[in-house]
Chains A and B, each alone.
Chain A
Amino acid sequence: MFVGLKQRAGSGDAVRRRNKIKRFTASDAVLLFILAVFAILILYPFYNALLVSIVPNTVYLRNQSLMIIPPKISLDAYNFTFKSSLIWIGYRNSLLITVFGVIYNMLLTVLCAYPMTKSFPGRKFVRFFIVFTIYFSGGLIPYYLLIKDLHLMDSLAVMVLPTGLNIMFMLIICQYFQSLPSSLEESAKIDGAGDFTVLLRIILPLSLPLLATFTLYYAVDRWNEWYNAMLFVKTVEKWPLQNVLRTIINDIQFMATQNIPGQQRPDVQGDAIKMSSIIVSMVPMMCLYPFLQRYFLSGLTLGAVKE
């Protein structure tokens, strides 16, 4: 409780505040109860998915997944999921487009954000040129025909190249660059450093926490990619994980027929396979999220806080 008070004590009489003991009142109890209920509402669907994936078929049919603790555990569904090549293909492709996508996204974002802090001739026009694309776009068919004309159909590149940069992220980073003390840059320029050197040696090292956050956001976006793949990628071997998941969720037979040739479909119910695939594809996020939550939770308020 003191931790909370200390953080909240602002410019006022901090000593007096700290000495004042706040009691845990009924309103606190009600508040915590409501918040805890909502937290359970958030988490339970995931726990339920885990349960469905690990109970044997007979238990599932009897209980219809209304369980708190699994009465019996069977890893058949995971066996099936891991054996399918489709999940691993999805993992590999998603990993590839995430790695290359994030590099590409961050490169474009930084190369756009840094120049926008300079008052070069034509800056206003460039800004308008970029921001206009938030307000107006061609729509689905023109986009589809463009990708076709560029011969990007059915390639991994179609899940990376059109993502480009997020304008909001870019503007926030730009705002942050502007808030850095200009004296550092000026003295480097006097020593003969060019714009690229200044960006690499001074600006970027000073913005690492911010860049980390946006790298993470881009990574999440690329990892969750499915839209471009659905529109343009027909070859199963090039699907990212989300599209593999979509197919498993919508069409469980697909998995059985595509992946274990010559082998009979095991006696695992479809829901367990769906949920085990979902759990498997959530693993990277579940591993990263608790440790990087500071970056995940900074949100888009980063630019604003600085002011």
Chain B
Amino acid sequence: MSADSVTIGKVKKSVFQFSRLRREILQYKWIYLMLLLPLAFFVVFRYMPLYGIQLAFKDYKLAGIKASVWNNYEHFKYMFLEPGFLPAFRNTLIISFMRILIGFPFPIILALMINEVRMARLRRVFQTIYTFPHFLSWVLLAGIMLNLMGSTGMMRRIVGLFSPEMSDNWNFLYDGGTFRWLLVLSDMWKEAGWGTIIYLASIAGIDQALYESTEIDGANRLQKIWYITLPGIISMIAIQFVLRVGAIMEGGFDQVFNLYTPPVYAMGDIIDTYIYRLSFVRASGVNLGFPTAVGLFKNIINFILLIAANGVCRMLGQKTVL
């Protein structure tokens, strides 16, 4: 008797839970309907490509992904023998490290400087000018840069004023050594202003009373920056730094692709441009499985780095997206 009632109670409870779930789903039916379109986008353009990853383990046949045959990790064995792969991998890391070492502190310094300008209107003017290149494409900016640094460009003339010898042997765009610097510096030129925005917002959030009290203690400008502004934005700097390190495998396809030429491939080729050329530029009949494998290799490292960066950010007390 008592056992029966317990069973009935359980059944009743689960039926009740089920109906509650159904009621909730019905209650949110319009919400689900709204999500239909965005989710369809993610399924088609973000998840369906994942199906093609199997090509990394297959020999590609024109008949399609399914018709291609498994090849026992051949691509991964071949990867380290392919003459272009290791240089591209190394270049990606070197260029990323250069960008972090030189490019990362720059927007911070710039933000601190902009913040010290006393006239609000002038601050705005500087910010507006600095941020402008961010909104232009690398196609357009590369066009300007190539002209500026090319053999008929202004840079050659200016350098010629100081060292005619250098100007006579002008090879700036086609020299591997200078090319990496061109990448790093032109990226700083384009993105520094945009980078300051987040730091300036962070500086604006610092309690003004702190500045006033140090002023009474007789602190000068640099001391105020060092003891108040910098500590005030240090957590933002840390988070930005971690995120930047997490993106180390992204060498900046748009920029490199629009600026580089065959003579600088050895020093400037990054993984993404390497994959592109493997897939589309080499003679026809290239096995599309191999570039897929290289892409997968890159994406897995990227994935691990991003998860790690995310974890560190969370340890720093930042709410993260995942």
In the bound complex, do residue A35 and residue B126 qualify as a contact, i.e. CB atoms below 8 Å apart?
A: yes
Question: Which residues of chain A are near B221, meaning CB under 8 Å?
Answer: 27
- What mask results when residues 113 to 142 of chain B are scored 1 for a CB within 8 Å of chain A, else 0? 110111111111011111111011101101
Question: Which residues of chain A are near B114, meaning CB under 8 Å?
Answer: 35
Question: Which residues of chain A are near B38, meaning CB under 8 Å?
Answer: 108-109, 111-112, 130, 164-165
Q: What is the CA–CA distance of A43 and B131 in the complex, to the nearest angstrom?
A: 11
- What mask results when residues 186 to 213 of chain A are scored 1 for a CB within 8 Å of chain B, else 0? 0000000011100100000000000000
What residue in chain B is nearest A132 (Cβ atoms)? B322
- What mask results when residues 1 to 41 of chain A are scored 1 for a CB within 8 Å of chain B, else 0? 10111011111110001000010000110011011001101
Given A139-B275, A144-B279, A271-B152, residue A126 in contact with residue B35 (CB < 8 A):
yes
Give A104 Cβ to nearest chain B Cβ, in Å: 9
What residue in chain B is nearest A143 (Cβ atoms)? B49
In the bound complex, do residue A129 and residue B28 qualify as a contact, i.e. CB atoms below 8 Å apart?
A: no
User: Does residue A242 face the partner (Cβ distance < 8 Å to B)?
Assistant: yes
Given A135-B307, A138-B49, residue A39 in contact with residue B147 (CB < 8 A):
no
In the bound complex, do residue A118 and residue B292 qualify as a contact, i.e. CB atoms below 8 Å apart?
A: no
Question: Which residues of chain A are near B81, meaning CB under 8 Å?
Answer: none
Give A45 Cβ to nearest chain B Cβ, in Å: 5
User: Does residue B282 face the partner (Cβ distance < 8 Å to A)?
Assistant: no
Given A42-B130, A245-B139, residue A139 in contact with residue B295 (CB < 8 A):
yes
Q: What is the CA–CA distance of A61 and B322 in the complex, to the nearest angstrom?
A: 56
Q: Looking at the complex, which one of A138, A165, A285 makes contact with B136 (CB distance below 8 Å)?
A: A285
User: Does residue A235 face the partner (Cβ distance < 8 Å to B)?
Assistant: no
In the bound complex, do residue B154 and residue A10 qualify as a contact, i.e. CB atoms below 8 Å apart?
A: no
Q: Looking at the complex, which one of A31, A45, A140 makes contact with B144 (CB distance below 8 Å)?
A: A45
A interface residues, how many (CB within 8 angstroms): 105
In the bound complex, do residue A111 and residue B42 qualify as a contact, i.e. CB atoms below 8 Å apart?
A: no
Given A27-B221, A49-B144, A171-B321, residue A297 in contact with residue B136 (CB < 8 A):
no
- What mask results when residues 182 to 211 of chain B are scored 1 for a CB within 8 Å of chain A, else 0? 000000010001100110010000011100
Q: Looking at the complex, which one of B28, B52, B135 makes contact with A121 (CB distance below 8 Å)?
A: B28
Given A45-B148, A242-B137, residue A289 in contact with residue B31 (CB < 8 A):
no
Q: Looking at the complex, which one of B133, B139, B145, B288 makes contact with A141 (CB distance below 8 Å)?
A: B288
What residue in chain B is nearest A275 (Cβ atoms)? B147
What residue in chain A is nearest B45 (Cβ atoms)? A162
Q: Looking at the complex, which one of A52, A131, A282 makes contact with B147 (CB distance below 8 Å)?
A: A52
In the bound complex, do residue B131 and residue A64 qualify as a contact, i.e. CB atoms below 8 Å apart?
A: no
Q: What is the CA–CA distance of A42 and B253 in the complex, to the nearest angstrom?
A: 22
Q: What is the CA–CA distance of A271 and B154 in the complex, to the nearest angstrom?
A: 12
User: Does residue B276 face the partner (Cβ distance < 8 Å to A)?
Assistant: yes
In the bound complex, do residue A66 and residue B157 qualify as a contact, i.e. CB atoms below 8 Å apart?
A: yes
User: Does residue B223 face the partner (Cβ distance < 8 Å to A)?
Assistant: no
Q: Looking at the complex, which one of A22, A42, A165, A227 makes contact with B132 (CB distance below 8 Å)?
A: A42
The 3 closest A-B pairs by CB, nearest first: A10-B208, A142-B52, A139-B295
A residues near B, CB below 8 A? 1, 3-5, 7-13, 17, 22, 27-28, 31-32, 34-35, 38-39, 41-43, 45-46, 48-49, 52, 60-61, 63-66, 107-109, 111-112, 114-115, 118, 120-121, 126, 128-146, 150, 161-162, 164-165, 167, 171, 194-196, 199, 220, 224, 226-227, 231, 242-243, 245-246, 249, 271, 274-275, 277-278, 281-282, 285, 289-290, 293, 296-301, 304-305
